[in-house]
Amino acid sequence: MQYNYKYRLDPPEALTETLLHHVDTCRQLYNHVLSLLNEADDIPARYEVQGRLPDLKSGWDDLGDVHSKVLQMVVKRVYDNLSTLKAQKENGRAVGMLKWKPPREYRSLTYNQSGFELKNTSGRPTLWLSKIGEIPIHLHRDIPEDATIKQVTIKREPTGEWYATFGITRDEDTSEKPETPEKVVGIDVGILKYAHDTDGYAIESPDFSEERERLERAQRNLSRKEYGSNNWEEQRKVVSERHADLKRKRRDFLHKLSNYYATEYDLLAVEDLDAKGLVELPGNSRNRAGAAWGTFLRMLEYKCEREGTHFVAVDPKNTTKECASCGVKTDKPLWVREHSCPACGFEADRDANAAWNILSRGLEDIGVGYSESTPVETALPVDTSVSAKRVVETGSSTLKGRTASAVSE
């Protein structure tokens, strides 16, 4: 399994110009390869196109300035985009054709297998890139000793910052999953409460209203500037920084919460949500997009694989309607936040009831033993609200205690 480690780069001005030149050369090659494929009657194999690169260099001097592996990854990028387009078309989506990349839409290059090395120059870590040089790098966390770096992607963000993303594999790829999970949990995601689990905890959605207001204010200021002017460019950077700030805070919350669940439990059951489809539904789409459910579930899945935790995504149909105690279905409009079963009298928070149903289906689908009682027998109408600010770094020995005591005001 491959993991990504992202680090900030601090290239001096001279190397920044070199990086920009390499990125733009890759963009031009991308557009050239795309033109060749559009003009061809039959699309050739990727390795056939890569085999033409040495001949192409003879008449295109700038290509000689870029590492050969980087050029090959540009060709791969074109073919990957074509495959994605084909898959979307097969799924019934209306798609067009790939378009040429303008400079603002092409901001990265990738070294695969070779052409890079982490060094320690004069006591400071640097990243050496073939045909570019040594770039200071902020290694805010260590790369595992048993890790093998397979590739490095260098990207310039809209804010102007440069980052290196290391794709690594580890010798001990996955931990062994327990045959009989001791600690299991079902998780129901929402908007009013970001996550509601079967341990009775309701994690509040993080409040990014201040960050959104700052972003909207910056966007309004940008709209008043003359497009392309110096003032417009300065304000565009401000907008990019506000976007990046909001994104960092959201992902920080999602990483901490997903780490907590992946490390504290032996089995996680979640809904198999079509997050993109939910965002496209009319009404409240902004809040659904901001919740980033798809990102959260993907984080849960790969972290469970890394930690040796069972991860099972169940059919979400009727998880809210069914009673966790007796299974009788009861229709509820969205504004009804409590579950009250007319058949057995079981009462619980709407999302807590759904979480128990998710866990029941997960245990049934995965077919593993479970040492404790079933959710139907132990369902309790507990609702301990936990502020999003109380989601601390996982791995802390006090995490469980902090979470248990973090009752909202």
Reduced DSSP (H G I as helix, E B as strand, rest coil) percent helix, strand, coil of the chain, to 5: 45, 20, 35
Q: In this predicted structure, what is the pLDDT of residue 276?
A: 56
Q: In this predicted structure, what is the pLDDT of residue 403?
A: 33
Sign of CA dihedral 296, 302, 307, 313: positive
Range with the poorest average pLDDT among 102-111, 269-278, 398-407: 398-407
Both tokens of residue 213? 């207001």
The predicted-structure confidence for 279-314, as pLDDT tens digits, reads as follows 444 444 454 454 678 888 889 988 998 888 889 888
Would you say 372 and 191 are in contact if contact means Cβ atoms under 8 Å apart?
Answer: no
Both tokens of residue 114? 């070779």
Q: In this predicted structure, what is the pLDDT of residue 344?
A: 81
Q: In this predicted structure, what is the pLDDT of residue 162?
A: 96
Residue 375 above 70 pLDDT? no
Residue 47 or residue 405, greater confidence: 47
Q: How far apart are CA 166 and CA 6, in angstroms?
A: 6
pLDDT class for 368, splitting at 50, 70, 90?
A: low
Residue 19 above 60 pLDDT? yes
Q: What phi, psi does 189 have (nearest 5°)? A: -95, 150
The predicted-structure confidence for 72-86, as pLDDT tens digits, reads as follows 999 999 999 999 888
**Residue 172 gets which letter from DSSP?**
S
Name the one residue in this structure whose structure tokens are 């304000």.
235
Residue 345: which region, alpha, beta or left (left: phi > 0; alpha: psi -120 to 50)? left
Residues 6+ apart with CB under 8 A from 224: none
Q: How far apart are CA 2 and CA 147, in angstroms?
A: 10
Residue 149 or residue 286, greater confidence: 149
The predicted-structure confidence for 1-18, as pLDDT tens digits, reads as follows 778 899 999 999 999 999
Q: What phi, psi does 102 have (nearest 5°)? A: -75, 165
Average pLDDT in the chain = 82
Q: In this predicted structure, what is the pLDDT of residue 317?
A: 85
Both tokens of residue 132? 């570019």
pLDDT class for 391, splitting at 50, 70, 90?
A: low
pTM of the model: 0.76
CB atoms within 10 A of CB 13: 7
Residue 380 or residue 123, greater confidence: 123
Residue 127 above 60 pLDDT? yes
Total residue length of the chain: 409
Sort 234 into a burial class: Cβ within 10 Å, 0-12 / 13-18 / 19+. exposed
* CA geometry: angle 91, 108, 111, nearest 5 deg: 100
Q: How far apart are CA 4 and CA 149, in angstroms?
A: 10
Residue 180 or residue 259, greater confidence: 259
Range with the poorest average pLDDT among 31-40, 60-69, 245-254, 287-296: 287-296
Would you say 270 and 315 are in contact if contact means Cβ atoms under 8 Å apart?
Answer: no
pLDDT class for 385, splitting at 50, 70, 90?
A: low
Residue 357 or residue 405, greater confidence: 357
Q: How far apart are CA 66 and CA 60, in angstroms?
A: 11
Q: In this predicted structure, what is the pLDDT of residue 279?
A: 47
pLDDT, mean of residues 392-398: 39
pLDDT class for 275, splitting at 50, 70, 90?
A: low
